[in-house]
Structure 1
Amino acid sequence: MSMAPHHGDDHWPRRLIAAVPILPILIVSALVLVDVVGGTGMTWVPLLATGPALAATTCGPRSVLCVGLFAAAMSVTLGIRGGAPGSQLAVAMSALLVVTLACALTSTLRGRRERVLAAVRSVAEAAQHALLQPIPATVGPFRVAVRYSAAAAEARIGGDLYALVSTPYGVRLIVGDVRGKGLPAVGTAALVLGVFREAAYDEPDLLDVVARIERSLARNLGSDDFVTAVVAGYPREGQLEVVNCGHAPPLLVRDSVVVPVEPDRPAPPLGLRTLSGETPALQVLPFADGDQLLLYTDGVTEARNHDREFYPLAEGLARHTCGEPADTVTALHDELLTHVGGRLHDDAALLLLQKPTAPETPVRRATSDAGCIESCSP
């Protein structure tokens, strides 16, 4: 029975020690030591305010008050030791207390902002998972890897979009880029992805999927808004259908050679068909075992370095292509960040689709070996 109170009392010294910031205390102690060794009296006392000021940048208000009270006590000690007049000592003490209170208030406001920011980040992460749903590493006959970076690092979501779904008509996917940034772009991306996921299951023809998205955008977007996108599907073995609506051409990797998939007939971005009168065309590509297709947004190819040079995505893909799509995409993303100096100025998305090479069936080899053994046995 007596162990519970003792257990609780044992924790408060630990909490007190954890609440006291070590570095500000050490700085105040070092200033006091310099003053004592130098015998300068009250000369170094104003610098003791460095302690609570530094504590306010990383610690809570209680820690700031602890450092401030410690600095005030040290200033009194130095003043008495140096025989400072009472008025001078009172002024130094008052200044330290005012600075400490101001720093404690600053620490309180900083803590509130950090909590609000943490809540915003949590909501942004939930919105990102709802909007850009995680794609598994294997979908249908494909291995897939995705990497997405929003230019607004705190928001973590932007106007780039991607989705990949397995439907009765094969695997279908979309990668696109909404004109503009901010919440309007996020809303448009959500609209496009919602319509795509619904139409991909309903429409046997890939062009009808694109038409559904076009009609929805025509009803909901302004006259100056549009979405560039590539919609692709794998309806049957060895064939990949691609519809390019004003988007950057995907990159096809075959036998370690990177080739851009330029559209046979250029089409306007989604949302602008009524203005141009042109309709997108369906492009059919052979897509055999071992082939890879990289879809991306212009945040990748238009990323510039300090010399204003664009990132050479095709060359980077040729360098980093390997048997693991996740490793390839990670290497491209890391190289992209290095190219721009660590921070992107536009949303960037990479989606790599790989048709794995079918391994030889061990059962057939075993059967063949068994037949050989049977025929060779006496």
Structure 2
Amino acid sequence: MNYTGLYNPFKLNRPLSDDDIKYQLRQDFSGLGASGAVALDDTVVIKMNSTYLELVDKYYSNRGMFEFFTIVMFSSFFLTPVSVICLLFSNPMSRPDDLIELFLLIIAIILPLIMARWFLGFLRKSFFTWTHYPVRLNRKTQMVHIFKVGGTILSVPWNDVFFTRGRAGYGSMPEWSIDGHILADDGKTVIDTFSLGFSSTRRELVKNWAFVRSYMEVDDCLEDLADIIVLCPPVAEKRENYLFGLQYMMRIESRIMWFITALMFPLHLLGSITRFVVMRTCKIPRWSEEVEADCVVDANDPINVSAANNPRHIWRYMLANQPLDEYNALYDRQINAVERLRAKVQAAKNQRAE
């Protein structure tokens, strides 16, 4: 999972890197991702209407599981020196006899406490913060509104953002995200950065970017995008409930993964309990009056995608257990929408090239 920006801050006040430029995602239809609009539903859309598209953050997906392992590590390191100290007071025979034993004893107490402090830093950025950090893209005013990790709100014109693919890790399978850089007046220095709600492979993100760019740049595409979205996290102005959190953590795309899901269920269960506690300690993000004024939705807007439109049996969709006829109908709906969208993107691309 790409946690850059949450547990480790973005690198700011720096020039654009070679990778930033190499993997740039352009708002127009040139460069990476220009060859078609394969838009995927990645269960990150909170709301979509004719005015704005609102997404969860890239950290939302794995809330709970990371915190569970962090609590385990923190408890292990914290309890180690506590146990040593208790042993010293309860058993005089265990006390050090020389300077070497005293030195080793001090190390055995201090090092675990340092590690416990390190893991505590992660927990402080998860508990008692916000349930999620949404990004709202306004199609009509061409503005991007970002609810930042610190709780502040940043608003910037869509075309002023330098979008690129950011990498977390340098192994054989690094995790990538769609990062938006805010540049200084020189057009080269990064002064702020945010991420859209996608974390995936480098190639897959191009498809996710196609979805966002189509919403902001392509005329007459909203119905097609609406047909692609299947499930929206129910976090608009409220907290998700426990059952949704568990199902969201267990979601799969194919029945082939049922066996792995069954093996992972104990971990998912523990992670879902932690996720529930995390969400209950966190505040619900609220947009400012200025953002709400910029994002007024028409009362008779025909496009109204939200959690209210989620499948009736969410668990069937999450566990790839839909009846065959229902699955085929959904698949045909999405494929047809993507094909229509491809044609509209190509038309928009040709029009701008003239």
TM-score of the aligned structures, taking structure 2 as reference length: 0.26
Structure with bigger RCO (C-alpha 8 Å, 6+ apart): 2
Larger relative helix fraction:
1
Whose Rg is larger?
1
